[in-house]
Structure formats: C-alpha cells, structure tokens
Amino acid sequence: MKKLLMILMIGMFLITLVSSTSTNYVAEYYTPVEIVETCTLIGFPCDNTYECNITIINPNEDVVIRDEPMTRNFPTYNYTFTNTSDLGYYKIYVYCSNGVFGGYDEDIILQVTTTGRTPEIKVAIFMLVISLIAFILALYLKSHSIGFISGILLMMAGIYQMVYGFGDVANLYTQATAYIVLAFGLFVMLISGIEWLEDSGG
C-alpha cells in the first residue's frame, strides 16, 4: 500500500512540475500566422505618421525577420509570418516611430506547435500515470477486472499521444511511443479479459 501511495505522489508531483510560458500567439507549424499589434501614444491610437517594423527570432535564436514593415490597418498594424517551420517559442519585437517619437514592445511570444493549439502535456502525463497506477493496482490485487480497465486506459493514452503528440512535440519518436503504449494496452486488455472469462466460467 505504501508503494501505491508513493507512485500516486510521484505522479501528482510530475503533473505539477509542468511549467507554462505566457504566449501571445499560437500557430500550427508550416502554417502562416497573422501578427496583429496596436500602436498607442498617451492612451490614443497612433496617427498615420507612425510606421511599425517587426523583428522575429526563431527558437534556435536565428533572426528570421529583421525590421520588416508592418501593414497599417487602423488602429492596428499587421504582419503575416510564414516561416513557422521550427517548433517552439519565437520572440517578436515591434518598433513603432514617426521619426520624432518611437517605442518598442519586446514581450511578444509566438508559440508554434504541431496542432496550432497550446500543448496540454498535463493531459498526456495524467492519462499515462492513471493507466500505470491501475495496472500496478491490478497486479497487486491480482484483479482481472482492474487489469482489463488498465488496458483500456493505456490504449486511450496511446491514441491520445498518437493524435496530439507529447506536449508540443509530435514526430516519429512520439508516434513510435504511442504505438508501443497502444500495443501494450491491447495486450493487457486481451490477457486480462481472457483470464477474467476463464475464472468466471471455471
């Protein structure tokens, strides 16, 4: 019982360790994203004498866009960014000026993920931890019914990882891991189900 409690505590600790970075934009990789920013002066939108330029640094710290002009669309300035081939966090700097007054914003973050949504690594970890806890509990109690349920949970975790990847990573390795988790879940479910039927019939 102490081992079970220890596993549960470790699982909860892993879930709380996941950190999040504040992002302004989230985009799917290899998909253009529209950057829309405002320019204000003393609380009012900048007039048409102001021009804004944008600089973008990719997750590898390479400058992919340097001082490109943004399109004015009162009261905002727009830029369509197309070079989203690297997964991770892009730093965006916007500088606006009319030749006399100027200012910049350096706190803009673009996150590029495989799905175009903020990754939920907590869900993937939670599903795996619950599945493993159910599996260990089934072994400890020698219960075929709990083993059958743990097999289903493992299969669900594998399918989730296959579809969404692991956090903001979805590549050949996460796909292979998903297939392994799915196959293991199917194996556990089948073995538990067969033994459960044998015990019920015998």
- Residue 8 scores a pLDDT above 50: no
| Average pLDDT in the chain | 81
**What pLDDT, on a 0 to 100 scale, did the predictor assign at position 119?**
62
Burial of 80 (0-12, 13-18, 19+ CB in 10 A): exposed
Q: What type of residue is 33?
A: V
pTM listed for this prediction:
0.56
- Residue 159 scores a pLDDT above 60: yes
- Residue 99 scores a pLDDT above 70: yes
Tokens representing 140 are: 């400890």
* pLDDT tens, position by position, 41-69: 887 888 888 899 999 999 899 999 999 99
- Residue 19 scores a pLDDT above 50: no
Helix axes 2-17, 121-141, angle to 10 degrees: 170
Which positions ≥6 away from 132 have C-beta within 8 Å? 7, 11, 150
**What pLDDT, on a 0 to 100 scale, did the predictor assign at position 23?**
59
DSSP 171-187: SHHHHHHHHHHHHHHHH
**What pLDDT, on a 0 to 100 scale, did the predictor assign at position 71?**
93
Q: Which CATH class is domain 25-113?
A: mainly beta
**What pLDDT, on a 0 to 100 scale, did the predictor assign at position 7?**
42
Burial of 115 (0-12, 13-18, 19+ CB in 10 A): middle
User: How do strand 51-57 and strand 63-69 relate by DSSP bridges?
Assistant: antiparallel
**What pLDDT, on a 0 to 100 scale, did the predictor assign at position 107?**
82
Measured CA distances, 197 to 36, 44, 135, 145 (Å): 61, 73, 18, 10
**What pLDDT, on a 0 to 100 scale, did the predictor assign at position 57?**
94
Domain boundaries, the chain: 2-20+119-201, 25-113
Measured CA distances, 161 to 12, 112, 129, 172 (Å): 19, 18, 13, 12
Burial of 200 (0-12, 13-18, 19+ CB in 10 A): exposed
**What pLDDT, on a 0 to 100 scale, did the predictor assign at position 171?**
67
Given the structure tokens 């956090």, which residue do they identify?
A: 167
Is 56:65 a contact under the CB 8 Å cutoff?
Answer: yes
**What pLDDT, on a 0 to 100 scale, did the predictor assign at position 43?**
78
**What pLDDT, on a 0 to 100 scale, did the predictor assign at position 24?**
83
- Residue 39 scores a pLDDT above 60: yes
Is 49:67 a contact under the CB 8 Å cutoff?
Answer: no
